Amino acid sequence: MQIRIALAGNPNCGKTTMFNVLTGSAQYVGNWPGVTVEKKEGYCKGDKSIVITDLPGVYSLSPYSPEEIVSRDYLIEERPDVIVNLVDATNLERNLYLTTQIVNLGLPVVVALNMSDLVKKNGNVVYPEKLSEQLGCPVVETSALKNEGLEHLVDVAVSLAKEKRPATPSFSFDAEVEDALSEIEECIGEFSPKHLLRWNAIKVFEGEERTIDALSLPPDALDRVSKVRTLAEEHFDDDAESIMTSERYDAIAHIVDGALKKSAKGMTLTQKIDRVVTNRWLGLPIFVLVMTLVYYLAVSVGGGVVTDWANDGISGDGWLYTGGAAYEEAVASWEESIAEAEAAGDGALVDQLSEEEPDPSAFGLWIPGLTPIVSGALESIGCAAWLQSLVVDGIVAGVGAVIGFIPQMVILFVMLSFLEGCGYMARVAFIMDRIFRKFGLSGKSFIPMLIASGCGVPAVMATKTIENEKDRRMTIMTTTMIPCGAKLPIIALVFGALAGQVSDDVWWVAPMFYFMGVAAIIVSGIMLRKTRMFAGEATPFIMELPQYHLPTVRSVLMAMWERVRSYIIKAGTIIFLSTIVIWFLMNFGFYEGSFTLLDSEMDDYIQYSFMAMLGSILAPLFAPLGFGDWQSVATSVTGLVAKENVVATVGIITSLGDAGEADPGMWEAFGAMMGGSAPAIMAFCAFNLLCAPCFAAIGTIRRQMASAKWTWFAIGYMTVFAYAVALMIYQFGMFFSTGSFTVATAFAVIVLAGMLFQIFRPMPRFEDKRQKNDRLVFAYGKEQ
């Protein structure tokens, strides 16, 4: 016999953490509402007869948001055997509001007083037995983070489920309200299940249409209920729903007074930290510093040490563990000899020296990389030349270039997961709400943007928690502008290229492009809000700020792995297939009038490839952005399938067409491909970061928009906006660096002027069509 346990609670109460501990699941843990949008199920570790369901985090069971509807429908219609209601013991007043609703469902309930360790740390005391007396159900102290009290919790829950003993709360409301509820219970008694009579009476009193419709009350019962409600509203001088809300909080205040003894210590550590990090003036600069440090460490340190090591071995020639300095000195001397021979015009000596490149294995411990190993293996079995090219130049070069950036992503996501786990990212949403609301966006819009730093797909899905349709659509259109994990390699690629073109000290590049995404969202919010489609006030934002705490190593690594795993899966599926397609387009074409496999012995063979044809067709469109050759344009086009393809395509193109250089690294080869122009390199990055996302995210946008028209509008807006930003970066960069002013520069000035006008013009007053018709009818009647 299976026992079904439902975990219910507020966001940030530790519910999903407890689910992971109890089931051993790898369910993602977040510090904002909306991470768990649908219920998740798993078997209890050690006992497969116990099924645990993790419901979305909600503040109440009123059917206003998708999470509330999912939780409510499951509890009322599917009726689990027992509900484990997690309550954040550090914030009893707020969390018990949901509890006062759950105990009216006629189900067995056990309250898990979670984060009890933090309560004791703050010097407070909670008396579980007094809470249990008022709530009419067992109360167990737990700490999901430290795995304390969970075994006892499960034992109590299983025992209650077997006894089928529902909660019997002893708290009550004002006498007038109780009389009204008793009269409604009499009125709806024959139409309501007995176990839900109290619940339905409260909802009918509140005038909730969902419950009234479900009960199918006759007209006379509806009239009687309406009279009862009207009398109560006149007595309290308030609407019925607000009356019940006030009554619940009054009851909670009475419960907490008897069950909680607060310390006289003063401010807690969380309150002291929040006075600084959520300060009106310091909050935003601190966030900027934190994210700058995060991206600096991930891209600069990770790219300079870890990624180089990975790229050398996966898609490069190999690793030289010892003797690196001596090898670099020998290479420098060899290159200098070749340069002297070229200067002297001695071609024979140049050819001879070219064949005498220093062998790294002669200088220390050398481990060959994947490329020479695979090449040697294919040659030894007499593999066809085209198949060798496909495997080495296509798959190894493309997928290897993508996988080489995994160390950077690991570093980035470990730091972001720590910030989320300790509670800081929840404060960032609070800080950004103050800023976003000034620009017409809601703080709820920032929650998907936080998720977008991992992947755009769950970020777009998280917008379903935004009730306002205009806010939701605007968030969907802008949230993928935040650099996701797949875009990090593009930033790293540009970082390395600029290090060769501008200076070695370009640490500011990675943080700059992250904040460019934030700025693009803010600018878009201002401009879109001043259009008829998105006009109106932003949705209010309410969020629980959790206590600061050190997350466990397991939770941080689990969150990091969830994000990196999706990247690796894409590298092994979408990117793998994409590199084959890219290789085909690069190696096949029409040469001298016939379709053929192109050979490196053909003159300018790459120019005849299908990829070159496609890139050449689109190149004039991108010329004003500074990358008007087919290689860079083709790279941007393949990025629409998956953003990782940008780096994969660069890896394939540079390995096939290295312009005769001895051994160009990817960063240097990319810089050369962009003509060595820093403005062009930055414009390329801006366009690829801000334009339409990958196919997977576009598919998610289509599902969330539920409209092909809105989907195409979103894709079109993002692409046009990205084009405008890249145009201004390149044209203004070239103007200030070289003084050149062209027709494209004039167009960039016009684009900037148009954007500034839309940003700074007063908010237009759009009149609703019905209001306009009413006004015309009124005016017509007045004339008559």
Q: Give the right CATH number for 3-163 from 3.40.50.620, 3.40.50.300, 3.90.1150.140, 3.10.20.600.
A: 3.40.50.300
Q: What pLDDT, on the 0 to 100 scale, is given for residue 201?
A: 93
Higher per-residue confidence, 249 vs 452: 249
Most confident of 196-200, 317-321, 424-428: 196-200
pLDDT for 776 equals: 43
Share of the chain above pLDDT 90, in %: 20
- Is the pLDDT at 693 greater than 60, yes or no? yes
pLDDT at position 183: 93
Taking Cα atoms as reference points, which of 266, 247, 245, 252 lies closest to residue 91? 252
Looking at the predicted structure, is the pLDDT value of residue 366 above 50?
Answer: yes
Highest mean pLDDT among 236-245, 385-394, 444-453, 687-696: 236-245
Q: What is the token pair recorded at 84?
A: 């484990």
Cα 633 to Cα 621: distance, rounded to the nearest angstrom: 9
pLDDT at 726: 92
User: Which residues contact residue 422 at a Cβ distance below 8 angstroms, ignoring those fewer than 6 apart?
Assistant: 548, 549, 550, 551
Q: Of 139-148, 150-159, 261-270, 555-564, which gets the smallest average pLDDT?
A: 261-270
Secondary structure E strands in 298-402: 318-320, 366-368
What is the per-residue pLDDT across 718-770, written as a single tens digit (0 to 9) for each?
A: 999 999 999 999 999 989 888 888 899 999 999 999 999 998 888 777 655 44
pLDDT band at 4, cuts 50/70/90? Answer: very high
Q: What is the DSSP string of 300-364?
A: IIIIIIIIHHHHHHHTSSEEE-S-HHHHHHHHHHHHHHHHHHHHHT-HHHHHHHHTT---GGGTS
Number of residues that this document lists for the chain:
784
Q: Are 412 and 488 in contact (CB under 8 A)?
A: yes
Nearest to 465 by CA among 451, 455, 454, 453: 451
Fold matches, 3-163 and 175-261: no
What's the average model confidence in pLDDT over 596-608? Answer: 68
Residue-level pLDDT at 312: 65
Structure tokens at 616: 């050449």
541-599 residue pLDDT tens? 666 677 787 888 888 888 788 778 776 776 667 667 777 887 788 778 887 777 777 76
pLDDT at 36: 44
> CA separation (Å) from 460 to 302, 469, 704?
28, 14, 7
Parse the chain into domains and list their residue ranges. Answer: 3-163, 175-261, 409-760
pLDDT, tens digit (0-9, with 9 covering 90-100), for 546-559: 778 788 888 888 87
The predicted structure's pLDDT at residue 784: 43
Chain centroid, CA 32 distance in Å: 12
Whether the pLDDT of residue 516 is over 70: the answer is: yes
- Of 162-176, 334-348, 444-458, 762-776, the poorest mean pLDDT is in 762-776
Q: Could you report the per-residue pLDDT of 71-125, keeping only the tens digit for each? A: 888 899 889 999 999 998 888 888 999 999 999 999 999 999 998 888 887 788 8
Looking at the predicted structure, is the pLDDT value of residue 504 above 60? no
Rg (CA), the chain: 32
Higher pLDDT, 546 or 251: 251
How sure is the predictor about 317, in pLDDT bands with cuts at 50, 70 and 90? confident
Tell me the pLDDT tens digit for each residue of 438-465. Answer: 766 666 777 777 777 767 776 787 676 6
Higher pLDDT, 423 or 30: 423
Residue 546 has what pLDDT? 73
The alpha carbon of residue 298 and the mean position of all alpha carbons in its chain are separated, in whole angstroms, by 17
Q: For residue 610, is pLDDT > 60?
A: yes
Selected residue with higher pLDDT from 284 and 167: 167
Q: What pTM value is reported for the model?
A: 0.63
Give, to the nearest 10 degrees, the angle between helix 553-572 and helix 15-23: 80
| Residue 313 confidence (pLDDT) | 65
pLDDT of residue 719: 92
| Amino acid 181: pLDDT | 92
The token pair that represents 658 in the structure block: 């290295």
Q: Is the pLDDT of residue 502 over 60?
A: no
Contact 96, 253 (CB under 8 A): no
What's residue 567's pLDDT?
67
Please, what's the largest Cα pairwise distance for the chain?
108
Contact call for residues 95 and 10 (beta carbons, < 8 A): yes
Phi and psi torsions of 140, nearest 5°:
-120, 130
pLDDT tens digit sequence for 620-639: 888 898 887 787 888 888 77
Handedness of CA 700, 704, 707, 713 (dihedral sign): negative
The dotted CATH code for 175-261 is 1.10.287.1770
Res 499: pLDDT: 63
The distance of Cα 276 from the centroid of its chain, to the nearest Å, equals 26
Please tell me whether residue 551 adopts helix, strand or coil conformation: coil
Residue 773: pLDDT above 70?
no
What's the rounded mean pLDDT across residues 214-221?
89
Cβ atoms of residues 475 and 705 within 8 Å: no
Residue 747 has a pLDDT of: 94
> What is the residue-averaged pLDDT of the chain?
80
